[in-house]
């Protein structure tokens, strides 16, 4: 996990020596098999027609957990935060920090994605400014952009 967080997002975490690192703990909880997730997965496989219902129940439980932790302070000690929510929150904070800082000297996955970010809802590929040479018959590369939501989704997928 240390390599993933370091190469993917430029975080210098020392997970090998610090077993209480929050990124390590939430990553482990994200991959752990809890009873609710396992039950919904089994129900999803057994009764495929109710797939949307099972996913809605799982999301609703996450919303209830978030609401309880946010509005009733005593529950922070009783109810753990959803690890996927925590990772997404950290991802959004990392993206905002990188936007404020600008380009860093460290090249990681997050920096590469931020270099290709676009605010457009629909992104059209277009040719780069360099033109096609008649001598080499090599086409100019396409310039592709991605949105902030795609970056956040890639962070979650990469950390899995």
What pLDDT digit, counting tens, does each position of 116-130 carry? 766 665 555 555 555
What pLDDT digit, counting tens, does each position of 9-30 carry? 888 888 888 888 888 888 888 8
Place of tokens 């890639």: 154
pLDDT band at 54 (very low <50, low <70, confident <90, very high): confident
pTM of the predicted structure, to 2 decimals:
0.60
Residue 84 in contact with residue 32, Cβ under 8 Å? no
Which residues have CB under 8 Å from 71's CB, separation 6+?
none
Give the residue extent of every domain in the chain.
2-105+148-159
What's the rounded Cα separation, in Å, for the pair 140 and 124?
Answer: 16
What's the rounded Cα separation, in Å, for the pair 145 and 12?
Answer: 27
Residues in a beta bridge with 126: 143
């Amino acid at each position: 996990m240390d390599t993933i967080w370091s190469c993917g997002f430029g975080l210098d975490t020392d997970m090998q020596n610090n077993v209480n690192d929050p990124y390590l703990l939430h990553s482990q909880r994200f991959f752990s098999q809890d009873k609710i997730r396992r039950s919904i997965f089994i129900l999803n496989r057994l009764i495929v027609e109710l797939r949307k219902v099972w996913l809605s129940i799982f999301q609703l439980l996450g919303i209830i957990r978030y609401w309880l932790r946010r509005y009733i302070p005593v529950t922070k000690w009783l109810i753990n935060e959803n690890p996927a929510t925590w990772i997404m929150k950290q991802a959004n904070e990392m993206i905002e920090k990188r936007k404020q800082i600008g380009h860093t000297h460290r090249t990681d996955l997050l920096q590469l994605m931020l270099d290709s970010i676009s605010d457009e809802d629909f992104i059209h590929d277009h040719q780069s400014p360099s033109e096609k040479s008649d001598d080499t018959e090599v086409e100019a590369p396409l310039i592709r952009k991605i949105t902030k939501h795609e970056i956040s989704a890639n962070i979650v997928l990469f950390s899995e």
